[in-house]
Amino acid sequence: MKRNLITINYIAYMLLFVTATFVSSCDKAFIPENETTISNSSEDESHYFGQNCMECHHSAGHGEGWFTLAGSTKGNYYMATIELYYDTINPPVHKIEVDQKGNFYTTNEINYQTPYLVGLRNQNNDIKYMKSKISVGQCSLCHGATTSTLNINW
């Protein structure tokens, strides 16, 4: 009888231990993690062309990396870059290469308090600017939704 009790206690203890381990590993899986994830012309790891990447890649989302700027462009985007400027005199404040799928993204800190002039530069060094300045990095909020998808075939 006593022996059984000890066994039951032992099993109960083990169960508690297993549950505790399970719960804590679960918790861990739901803590969103931020990693440095920046597109470049030799990467092809991205996906969801044209969708708003930040629907998933934000601090509460499940996509790896909290993007501060991301979007997609059609056309001949080989070696193309997205550039953020304060003005047309100084060099760009941020420069992001478009990847092999036409997507561009970065987790680098971008301060949107001062709106940026944004440009799309092709491999021949021609640049097209957006007329209005931007203070948000979610390009596909508008491009492909309320205005045309970015297209570098000019």
What are the residues binding ligand HEC (CB under 6 A)?
A: 35, 37, 45-49, 51, 53, 55-57, 62-65, 69-72, 82, 103, 105, 118-120, 128, 130-132, 134, 136-137, 139, 141-143, 147, 150
Nearer to ligand HEC, 1 or 30 (CB): 30
- To ligand HEC, the closest distance from the beta carbon of 116 in angstroms equals 8
Do residues 80 and 96 make contact, with C-beta atoms less than 8 angstroms apart? no
CB of 117 to ligand HEC, least distance (A): 10
Strands 69-74, 117-121: parallel, antiparallel or unpaired by DSSP?
unpaired
Is the distance from CB of 137 to CB of 67 less than 8 angstroms? yes
Tokens representing 43 are 């990467």
* Dist. CA 18–CA 36, nearest whole Å: 34
DSSP code of residue 116 = B
Q: Tell the smallest beta-carbon distance from residue 135 to ligand HEC (Å).
A: 9
**Which of 8/128 has CB closer to ligand HEC?**
128
Say if CB 34 and CB 57 are below 8 A apart: no
User: Which residue lies nearer to ligand HEC by CB, 2 or 131?
Assistant: 131
Cα separation, 93 vs 85, in Å, equals: 5
Closest approach of Cβ 84 to ligand HEC, in Å?
A: 7
Nearer to ligand HEC, 48 or 86 (CB): 48
